[in-house]
Amino acid sequence: MSIIAITIQSGNDLDAALDQRFGRAPHFLVVETDDAHVIESFKNDAAEAAHAAGPAAARLIAKHRVQAVVSGRYGPKATEALLTLGIRTFEAGERTSVREIVDAFRGNSLHEVRYP
């Protein structure tokens, strides 16, 4: 069983649309991928931060005990913080809907960000 966070613009169900940014996405949707059900949706308090939104967002999702995250793009500090926190980091690629992303995650077809 995998619990993942997905960066979204708004909403609280699988119809939500992806937000491309990790640190400054307005919301996170937390999904249990085995049966594709939504656990929770929460506001990203780091989105308005003056600086270093990436590490702050990484800390926030770590508190929600997710094992992986999916977003469009990650800044260098965000990827380092996610690595430190042991959260696997995936890119959504061309996919823009949460449903597609969950399917792709289950099919192991998302690109994982690899660290040097």
Residue 83 sits in the site that holds another protein (CB under 8 A): yes
- The minimum distance between CB 88 and another protein, in angstroms, equals 12
Rounded to whole angstroms, the Cα distance separating 51 from 34 reads 36
Rounded to whole angstroms, the Cα distance separating 99 from 107 reads 12
Which residues is 68 bridged to in the sheet? 4, 88
- Specify the residue, 31 or 78, whose C-beta has the smaller distance to another protein: 78
With left for phi above 0 and alpha for psi between -120 and 50, is residue 52 left, alpha or beta?
left
- Specify the residue, 8 or 87, whose C-beta has the smaller distance to another protein: 87
Site string for another protein, 58-77 (x = CB under 8 A): xx--x--------------x
- Specify the residue, 51 or 114, whose C-beta has the smaller distance to another protein: 51
Rounded to whole angstroms, the Cα distance separating 42 from 51 reads 21
Residue 84 sits in the site that holds another protein (CB under 8 A): yes
Question: In 1-116, which ranges are E strands?
Answer: 3-8, 27-32, 37-43, 68-71, 88-91, 111-112
Residue 3 sits in the site that holds another protein (CB under 8 A): no
Site residues for another protein per CB under 8 A: 49, 51-52, 55-56, 58-59, 62, 77, 80-81, 83-86
